[in-house]
Amino acid sequence: MRAPLQTLLADTEIQANELIKQVKKLQLEKKELESIDERIQERKDFSEEIYNQKYKLFSIIDLLNPAVDTKIESKLTELRGNLRAVKESLSKYNMNDLIKESEKKINEYMYDIGNEFDFEDAYDPINLKFSLESFDLYHDDINKNKKIYLRSMGSGANWLYTHLTLFLALHKYFVSLGEDCLIPSILFLDQPTQVYFPNFSRDTEKSFSKDEIKSIEMLDDNKIDEDMKSVTNIFDQLNNYCISLEEEFGFSPQIIVTDHVDNLMLRNGSFESLVNGNRWRTKKLMNFDKVYKYIKSSNYSITPYL
């Protein structure tokens, strides 16, 4: 009796295993269908939200439609008339030619100034261009016939030198105009060396020390020497710039720089004569205690931000 039952049991187990496999397969298919269903539902919800926002935008556009708002249409007509009048007035001064001539001079100044800074080798020679129409600033790579805009110029040092080049070129152009220019010949630069020494706030010593900076920035000897060379060159070029402008135009502009570097060995001039004793590591830019006492004793209602 046991023998036929064992045979039947074996057949039943085989059938059971087959059914288990089919169940697992169906479970996987069910899970996949549920996942598809969820994605479809998400897309449906997203599509519905898009339509809702679209309807809201259409409603706003309808409200702002000049065709149904006579006040807006009247204002637009008035503004267009004013714009035509301004353009007619400007046409008397030949502004387009003046802008092109100014832009050409500024770009020439930028070429001479920019090639004295330590741009990356990929931008050698640097050929910066600035548009007075769009205010676009870019490197014009003649060899590759390609414009590389500031946002794509890589390192912070490139950004620093690009801005310095532009500011100095604009500054020189203003100086070249002489008394016809109403812009004061003063340029203020704050922490231009921060791209080399970003942790300057931790430099709390009473005097600038290359070894201290090396420790703060965790630099090796070669790197700190290279950075100090680039930093020194910045101040060298600012000094040379002032000297060259005085020789060319008989007038030296004023460049004010707030920075924490000190005692640099310049190639053309004395760093000490430029600093002229204005070191603010201990006395700071201004005595805030005295300022605050003055404000309290006066009738001004001012809260100083220290």
Contact status, residue 198 vs residue 218, Cβ threshold 8 Å: no
More confident call, 287 vs 201: 201
pLDDT at 303: 39
Phi, psi of 218 (to 5 degrees): 55, 55
More confident call, 65 vs 203: 203
Instruction: Give long-range contacts, CB 8 A cutoff, 24+ apart: 278-287.
Output: 281/205, 281/206, 281/207, 282/206, 285/258
- The helix or strand, by DSSP H or E, that contains position 90, with its residue range, turns out to be helix 70-91
Report if pTM > 0.85. no
248 to 98, 218, 241, 275: CA distances (angstroms): 22, 43, 11, 24
Distance of alpha carbon 177 from alpha carbon 130, whole angstroms:
19
pLDDT at 278: 75
Number of other CB atoms surrounding residue 176 within 10 Å: 16
Residues 13-37: what's their mean pLDDT?
A: 86
How is residue 41 written in tokens? Answer: 């539902």
Contact status, residue 245 vs residue 255, Cβ threshold 8 Å: no
pLDDT at 305: 35
pLDDT at 66: 54
CA angle 185, 189, 191 (to 5 degrees): 170
Cis peptide before 125 (omega within 30 of 0): yes
pLDDT at 64: 67
Taking 50 as the threshold, does the pLDDT of residue 301 lie above it? no
Q: Which of 72-76, 96-100, 286-290 has the highest mean pLDDT?
A: 96-100
Provide the percentage of residues in the chain whose pLDDT is more than 90.
21
